[in-house]
Amino acid sequence: MTGLVVILLACFAALAHGKAGYGPGDQDWGFVDVRPGAHMFYWLYYTTANVSSYTERPLAIWLQGGPGASSTGYDNFEELGPLKLDGSYREWNWAKDMNVMFIDNPVGSGFSCVDNSSYYTTTNKQIALDLVELMKGFYENHPEFKAVPSHIFCESYGGKMAPEFALELYYAIQRGEIDSNLVSVGLGDLWTSSIDSVLSWASFLLQLGIVDTDGHDKIESSAASTKRYVDRELWTLATLQWSSTQSVVLCESKGVDIYHVETATLGDKYVLRSMPMSQEGRIMKPGQSKTGDLLSNTTVRVGVFSDGLDLICATPGAVSWIADMEWTDKASYLAASRVGITVDRVLEGYEKTAGNFSIFWVNRAGHMVPADNPAAMSYILRKFTNFG
């Protein structure tokens, strides 16, 4: 009996400590074949909190936007992982309080790969179904996480992917296809309703003094052209016109940083970037209906956190599409009061909550809230996971 106990303890220890990876704490990583020819990569950081078992803390699942940016690369090293890009330790990181899993999605992003280009996804529904398959494989490799409260967080274009992923995961749980304790979704700096973001740029920049009236009118005119294509569901043309509008913004602002308008830039020496042709069909399609479905048809809590210094996904655009979105508790949301978020006697933002939905306005932050305002992000994490 004593020998058996020793063996079981040894097995548990091996399971609990994972691998020695890059940076502090135990880690694990691997690929899941989400479809024949499509292989998705995840990188798991076990919490470094002082707990008897890491399963005492929740699992935060992070999705980057793009679509096509790497979670294991960008968000891990630039925003919330244990190490910064230069290899130095990040004092405020999520793994100190909870388990964190970065997923490279959709396939073709980061380490996630396909056997050939025919296996790339072409819709957000396909992305969501791939992510559900990823979770099935993850739980097969780590069954101890099945009962652990899971929280999906995302950024930017992730605002379209995460709600649909959560919906498909919730439905798979209800059908008995997967065991998972999905609790909440946190949507950050959202490109959810792309056209609402674009339409907010002109007035946002004018009010900040970054463009004058002439610049405002040029940006507004280009944004209106983008909306005409969106209204006609001419998605590729809408994407091209969105890119053109962004060019007008950079010209009229003399090169403002579209991810953080107070970041020092090179002025007129701005760089324009092109959009891969494979993304042009979906980048401007609206995604707010999936968030509404999540709120109306599931028990999952949903939070939106938006920042005051981001242009690309400006807060006025988020406020606009949320006001237009339909869901069960909309009337309660519209009637709810907005309250201040104070951390250590510092005003870090504002909050409005009704039912399972919350929105957070974050002060002193651009497109990357976890990196720009850790105090506000900690408040949001505690609100949804009880840790942070």
Which of 279, 296, 324 finishes a domain?
A: 279
Statement to judge: residues 86 and 189 lie in one domain = yes
Statement to judge: residues 53 and 84 lie in one domain = yes
Hey, how many other C-beta atoms are within 10 angstroms of the C-beta on 33? 12
Statement to judge: residues 18 and 44 lie in one domain = yes
pLDDT at 287: 86
Statement to judge: residues 217 and 357 lie in one domain = no
Domain count, the chain: 2
pLDDT digits (tens, 9 = 90+) for 90-125: 999 999 999 999 999 999 999 999 999 999 999 999
- 292 Cβ contact list (under 8 Å, min separation 6): 325, 326, 327
Q: Is residue 105 part of a domain?
A: yes
Q: Is residue 322 part of a domain?
A: yes
| 110: CATH | 3.40.50.1820
Statement to judge: residues 239 and 293 lie in one domain = no
Task: Mean pLDDT check: name the lowest of 11-15, 72-76, 144-148.
Answer: 11-15
Global confidence as pTM = 0.91
Hey, how many other C-beta atoms are within 10 angstroms of the C-beta on 331? 10
pLDDT digits (tens, 9 = 90+) for 319-366: 999 999 999 999 999 999 999 999 999 999 999 999 999 999 999 999
CA distances from 338 to 41, 79, 334, 353 (A): 40, 27, 10, 8
Two structure tokens written together for 309 = 């210094």
Q: Is residue 1 part of a domain?
A: no
Residue % of the chain over a pLDDT of 70: 92
Which of 279, 306, 332 finishes a domain?
A: 279
DSSP codes, 370-386? HHH-HHHHHHHHHHHHS
Burial call 301-322: b when 16+ CB within 10 Å, e when fewer = bbbbbbbbbbbbbbbebbbbbb
pLDDT digits (tens, 9 = 90+) for 239-296: 999 999 999 999 999 999 999 999 988 766 444 544 444 455 678 988 889 999 999 9
Asked if 284 contacts 235 with a C-beta cutoff of 8 angstroms, the reply is yes
- The H or E element containing residue 367 is none
Q: Is residue 358 part of a domain?
A: yes
Which of 247, 279, 311 finishes a domain?
A: 279
Statement to judge: residues 208 and 136 lie in one domain = no
Statement to judge: residues 302 and 366 lie in one domain = yes
Statement to judge: residues 204 and 180 lie in one domain = no
Asked if 323 contacts 350 with a C-beta cutoff of 8 angstroms, the reply is no
Statement to judge: residues 161 and 308 lie in one domain = yes
Q: Is residue 24 part of a domain?
A: yes
Statement to judge: residues 160 and 221 lie in one domain = no
Q: Is residue 3 part of a domain?
A: no
pLDDT digits (tens, 9 = 90+) for 205-246: 999 999 999 999 999 999 999 999 999 999 999 999 999 999
At 76, the pLDDT band (50, 70, 90 cuts) reads very high
Statement to judge: residues 72 and 155 lie in one domain = yes
At 303, the pLDDT band (50, 70, 90 cuts) reads very high
Hey, how many other C-beta atoms are within 10 angstroms of the C-beta on 30? 15
Q: Is residue 2 part of a domain?
A: no
User: Could you list the residue range(s) of the whole structural domain that residue 310 is in?
Assistant: 8-193+287-385
Statement to judge: residues 170 and 300 lie in one domain = yes
